[in-house]
Structure 1
Amino acid sequence: MKKSLLYVLLGIGLSLSANAQEESLHSDTLKVTEPPRDGYVMKSDIANRKVVPFAPIRQTDVAYSKRIWREIDLRDKMNQVFASPKSRLIDIIVEAIMNGELTAYDPTPTKNDPNGDSFKNVLTKEQVMARLGGDSVLVEEYNENNEVISSRYEKREFSGENVVKFRIKEDWIFDKQRGVFEPRIIGIAPLITPQIPGLSDINTSVTPSNVDPFDPFAVSNTAETTETAEDNIQPAAPVTTSIEVDPTPAFWIYFPEARHVFVNKEVVTRNNDATGLSYDDVFVKRIFSSYIVKQSNPEDLRIKDYIKEDIERLYESERIKKALMDFEQDLWSY
């Protein structure tokens, strides 16, 4: 009897305590002693994740290996997660370099490193920002006579929106010990378009001064015309001079080192806020779209070196992808 009465009193006490807490949570006079939590679920799993190491591969177990260079275009719909303002990939990389968590390597080709992607020469933080266009810029002040009265240097902030492509260097390896044919990413490089002085002046249309550029049938005023059909003057057309500058790597980062940074950075997608994916997951699980720009070959040629048309280069990229998949399928017989 006494035990039953004790249980009843305990239940009443717990009920009153719960009601009091409920009222205090909905009260307008509740005093918050700690900063409020933004949301009802704290994403602590991403911050506490550790890198899952790859399976070790012995040199004697490598039956086949192929080096591939590919590019990721952030304007592709599947790759838009890399350009999200909430978690932009280039911002993560630059912040890690500035904090000393990542090492940036010089992509300049040398005699011992023709491709410039062997991770030999380290770049300083100032060199990295200069390559990304985030260094100082000269600002001049003028008077009413358009004369320079003073000048100063101002720090120019780096904008991640200018980086729309990344280059990946990877090895496709067949491990005969485990019976697995898989890619291993070696390095990642953001691509930038070099700002060459005077290039905008070269990439213009040059039109003769005595020809109306808006008249497609205009001819030079100094040309002599005759009534004979043999001396007909052809319409003058503008002469266009254009120089195409390909995006080049700003720097290279070593992917095994970058994994320790990417594993704690969540990927933001348009469809779901609770993705549970980190940038390490995206690269390891190959959740991105890309096209191949080069494969290892004796002549060290890129696809653009032996194919000039853009659409044909994409076909060649798909052919190389299919050749890798066919190699894996041909390994097994049923």
Structure 2
Amino acid sequence: MKKLLIAAAVLVSLQAKAQQENLNNSIDPVAVDTLPPVDGYVVKSDFENRKVVPYANIRQTDIAFSKRVWREMDLREKMNQAFASPKSSLINILLEAIQEGKLRAYDPTPTKDDPNGDSFKTRLAPDQVMARFGGDSILVEEFNENNEVIGSSYQQRDFDATQVVKFRIKEDWIFDKQRSVFEARIVGIAPLITPQIPGATDMPIIPGDAAAPAAGNTGADPFDPFAVPAQNTQETTTNDAPPADAALPPVTSDAFVPQIDATPAFWVYFPEARHVLVNKEVMNRHNDATGLSYDDIFIKRMFSSYIVKQSNPEDLRIKDYLSDDMDRLFESERIKKTLMDYEQDLWSY
């Protein structure tokens, strides 16, 4: 009987000790110099110790089919909203790793040897990366009570992660005949930014229209080529000129509307980024205990995207030979279906 009581007491003490590792139930006053309490009942330490699961090795002679695909991921879609979570946004994770030296960024500028700018040839310094987002340092002057400059210092601008709403992904679809596996392997990831050009989207230009009157007569900005000219209330007396208050011609489909495409801010090599993403948790809308990292999300392809280009001899994007947005979407789905059909056609049932 005494042995049973001793065993029960030991079991209760072990359970209490195990609970104290997760939750501190002590009612004693906390000293000032102690560590802060645990935020929750369980310490999520498994993400810090995770390691990347390596890919299976592929030999060049075992590749029976290969196709390179570029796709874009829009964070405004419901399935991709976790990538823009303020608690763990993807762009903040990449920028933080670049500034700490854990990840290298590459210049996306096209060159003669690299027309697409995504061959990971030219590295970017961390300050060059932040300058592309408007987050570079600015000179701030210090004034005294007499409004005199007494000194100056450089301060870092705050970066707004909400300005990045799209990511471009470059990946290879490979069929390994040795393992009989058709899989996609991501090569690089790039956040997309839209250059801010003042007045570029204010007013479309209609071909054949005469130049706008002088700014002194209409009130328009002479340095803004897209400024809307004000209507003149004075009528002309000539017979060959139309009234000044005549309505402007309607904007037709032939009107030139300036469109600024989103361009990559930098490229990161995905095999390098995996060692950073594997330790970053992805926020889930429905369950906080999923235990998925960003590396799991990309490897398991738990994101929504659409194809914007596939490898071709002319090196054309979908938008280069299709102008309608709906036709581009259909072409993206056609390319996706072609890749899936290749895998299905390999087998006979």
- Residues 78, 224 of structure 1: alpha-carbon distance in 2 compared, 3 angstrom cutoff: farther
Give the deviation of 1:122 after TM superposition. Answer: 0.7
Question: Aligned letter for 2:94?
Answer: I
- 1:62 & 1:8 partners in 2: Cα distance? 65
Larger CA Rg, structure 1 vs 2: 1
- Residue 204 (structure 1) aligns with: 202
Shift of 1:8: 6.9
Q: Are residues 1:319 and 2:334 paired? A: yes
Paired residues of 1:220 and 1:236 also in contact (CA < 8 A)? no
Output the TM-score relative to the length of structure 1.
0.82
2:87 matches 1:89: no
Aligned residue number for residue 68 of structure 1: 69
Counterpart-to-counterpart distance in 1, 2:165 and 2:236: 49
> What 5-or-longer segments of structure 1 have no aligned partner?
143-147
Match of 1:305 among 320, 329, 346: 320
* Paired letter, 2:81: Q
* Offset of residue 132 of structure 1: 1.8
Letter in 2 for 1:235: A
1:175-324 pair list within 5 angstroms? 175-195=176-196, 199-205=197-203, 221-223=234-236, 235-237=247-249, 242-324=257-339
The question of whether the paired residues in 2 share the 8 Å contact of 1:169 and 1:188 is answered with yes
Task: Give the TM-score normalised by structure 2.
Answer: 0.78
Aligned to 1:331: 346
Cα distance change, pair 314–223 in 1 and its aligned pair in 2 (3 A): farther
CA deviations on 1:197-252 (whole Å, 9 max, x unpaired) are: xx323433497688999xxxx887434598xxxx9976324888742211111110
SS, match of residue 42 in structure 2: coil
- TM-fit CA distance, 1:263: 0.7
Cα 1:244–1:41, aligned 2, differ >3 Å: closer, same or farther?
A: same
Deviates more, 1:25-34 or 1:118-127: 25-34
Secondary structure of 1:244's counterpart equals coil
Task: Evaluate the alpha carbon distance shift between residue 10 and residue 93 of structure 1 in structure 2; reply closer, same or farther with a 3 A threshold.
Answer: same
Distance 2:283 2:237 in 1: 67
**Gaps (5+ residues) in structure 2?**
144-148, 206-211, 221-230
Q: What one-letter code is carried by the residue in structure 2 that aligns with 1:136?
A: S
Distance 2:200 2:307 in 1: 31
Question: 2: distance between equivalents of 1:322 and 1:59?
Answer: 25
Whole-Å Cα distance in 1 between the matches of residues 159 and 124 of structure 2?
17
SS of aligned partner of 1:271: coil
Q: Alpha-carbon deviation of 1:153? A: 5.5
Q: CA deviation at 1:44?
A: 2.0
Give the C-alpha shift of residue 160 in structure 1.
1.3
Q: Which residue of 1 aligns with 2:99?
A: 98
The Cα of 1:97 is off from its aligned counterpart by 0.6
CA deviations on 1:264-291 (whole Å, 9 max, x unpaired) are 1110011111111100000000000001
